[in-house]
Chains A and B, each alone.
Chain A
Amino acid sequence: GENVEQHPSTLSVQEGDSAVIKCTYSDSASNYFPWYKQELGKRPQLIIDIRSNVGEKKDQRIAVTLNKTAKHFSLHITETQPEDSAVYFCAASKTGANNLFFGTGTRLTVIP
């Protein structure tokens, strides 16, 4: 089965700085890579996803990059704001597959 590893487990940045969270996956057949944000006490919500036919996707201050050869993908948040503080989970799946395999999460703290 798929194994997703995520680093770092915790990350603190100053407001305005960038944050990068990295994940690796093991199954070369995986082709869908979402990122979920979970604010304290709230449900996880999808913030961005990427499919294996592209190498990068951006949505305002958030971007995700994918390196299929190395089997790793990263979340980049620029100009961080206090409201970006949350736990971020990466995941991997195959199109049409039953399940998302989640990483263990990164707790991001943006210091005002």
Chain B
Amino acid sequence: GAGVSQSPSNKVTEKGKDVELRCDPISGHTALYWYRQRLGQGLEFLIYFQGNSAPDKSGLPSDRFSAERTGESVSTLTIQRTQQEDSAVYLCASRPQTGYNEQFFGPGTRLTVL
């Protein structure tokens, strides 16, 4: 079946602009995660959604970052007033259900802030 998809695959923006990144999880997956991966670095947790529960926002680096998810479908990550240090690959992952740990990753969106 279809895996996790993300769009756009690449995004170049100017400092100060807002960007919106999209994630389509695997159908039926109740959990959805956003990670940031800076060049040559590890996976930095940003936010987690589980069904209709309140999201875990503990990884968001500043109030310029926000994310939404409607039910168990698409999620959008929004970065307002982008800064050069926001340049990274933003990865989305989904997981079937609580108690099942494997996360399935999307291909990522490479964000470049000029």
Contacts and interface: CB of A to CB of B under 8 A. Distances in A.
Given A34-B101, A34-B102, A43-B108, A98 B42 contact: no
Among B42, B50, B107, max chain A CB count under 10 A is at B42
Interface stretch (A13-21, A72-80, A101-109): A101-109
Contacts of A49: 101-102
B52 interface: no
A46 B102 contact: yes
Among B48, B50, B103, max chain A CB count under 10 A is at B103
Contacts of A101: 45
Contacts of A44: 43, 91, 105
A107 B39 CA distance: 12
A102 B101 contact: no
Interface size class of B (residues with CB under 8 A): 20 to 34
Interface in B21-73: 31, 33, 40-43, 45, 48, 50, 56
Nearest to A36: B105
Contact of A95 (B42, B45, B91, B101): B101
A96 B50 CA distance: 11
23 contacts: A6-B42, A36-B105, A42-B107, A43-B105, A43-B107, A44-B43, A44-B91, A44-B105, A45-B105, A49-B101, A95-B99, A95-B101, A96-B98, A96-B99, A98-B31, A99-B33, A99-B48, A102-B42, A102-B43, A105-B41, A105-B42, A105-B43, A107-B40
Interface of A: 6, 32, 34, 36, 42-46, 49, 89, 93, 95-96, 98-105, 107
